[in-house]
Amino acid sequence: MMRIDDGVTQADVLLDRPNRALEIGSIIWREMHHFSSDAVLLVLASAHYDPADYIQDYDRFLAKVRK
């Protein structure tokens, strides 16, 4: 289960089949929950991961979105 949040609206997306995918743009808060024991999470990105590029605190995320 993926919860996506743009700072205004939240939605839960159930990815329960191997042919389902979710494309997430920038400035979207996301949380992953309730993985089955045989689940695989595959992340494709356009750049190498840099922790400095990410907001780790939800309140800071909301402040940035609401500017």
Q: How far apart are CA 63 and CA 52, in angstroms?
A: 17
Q: What is the DSSP string of 20-56?
A: ------SS-EEEE----TT-------SS---GGGS--
Q: For the chain, what are the domain ranges?
A: 2-65
For residue 22, give the nearest of 3, 49, 35, 50 by alpha carbon: 3
Q: What is the mean pLDDT of the chain?
A: 93
The tokens describing 22, both together, are 């979710």
- At residue 65, what are phi and psi to the nearest 5 degrees? -65, -35
pLDDT of res. 65? 95
Q: Is the pLDDT of residue 41 over 90?
A: no
Query: Residue 10 — pLDDT band, cuts 50, 70, 90?
Result: very high
pLDDT of res. 67? 86
Tens-digit pLDDT profile for residues 48-62:
999 999 999 999 999
| Mean pLDDT, residues 27-42 taken together | 91
